[in-house]
Amino acid sequence: SKLVINIKYKQIKMIIDNKSIGSITNEETEKFELNNDGGHLFAVLSELYSKPVESTIREISTNCMDAHIMNNCVDTPFIIKLPNPEKNLLTLCFRDFGPGLTHEQVRKIYKVYGVSTKTNDNNATGCLGLGSKSPFSITSTFYVKSYFNGKCSQYTCSMSNAGIPDISKTPIVF
């Protein structure tokens, strides 16, 4: 069974104004860093949402809509398949019809928190580089398929027992 959700597009301006405010000092200045020894940072990011299921659906749906905007097909609905335990369907799946991502784009976007293809795109909703990783708030493993130039590539994103995520290209099983 398929659930097709048609979402009306409403443009929201998302480019963040990064006006620099600094200080002048004769003292040594150092930039802040993020330490992820032991996966603590990823654990915090995985618990970012107070309603993880709803938030993941919102985040991925928003990415689907942004992909449709990029591909100029906003009137084409993207597809969401919801879990149905009665039919032994235990996965939540999204399918958009956007331009797809190259292998390098998938690796760059999914393996680095804070990386987004939409940072400088005022027609897109997302831009913080967190939404694509939102499935980690509800599962330790999820799959990404990218349809680019007529080819499909599949990736497995998984969280280790130490709380550190990784991504690997995986063969497609039909």
Beta bridge partners of 80: 3, 94
What is this structure's pTM?
0.78
Looking at residue 115, its pLDDT comes to 83
pLDDT tens, position by position, 143-165: 999 999 999 999 999 998 888 88
Helix (H), strand (E), coil (C) string for the chain: CCEEECCCCCCCCCCCCCCCCCCCCCCCCCCCCCCCHHHHHHHHHHCCCCCHHHHHHHHHHHHHHHHHHHCCCCCCCEEEECCEHHHCECCCEEECCCCCCCHHHHHHHHHCCCCCCCCCCCCCCCCCCCHHHHHHHCCCEEEEEEEECCEEEEEEEEECCCCCEEEEEECCCC
Looking at residue 104, its pLDDT comes to 94
Lowest mean pLDDT among 30-34, 58-62, 139-143, 162-166: 30-34
- What is the residue type of 23? S
What does the angle CA 153 – CA 160 – CA 63 come to, to the nearest 5 degrees?
Answer: 45
Does the pLDDT at position 101 exceed 90? yes
Does the pLDDT at position 97 exceed 90? yes
Q: 10 Å Cβ neighbour count for 164? A: 16
Does the pLDDT at position 1 exceed 50? no
- Pick the more confident residue, 127 or 99: 99
For the residues 12-25, what does the mean pLDDT come to?
Answer: 59
Q: 2 falls in which pLDDT band (50, 70, 90)?
A: very low
- Pick the more confident residue, 61 or 24: 61
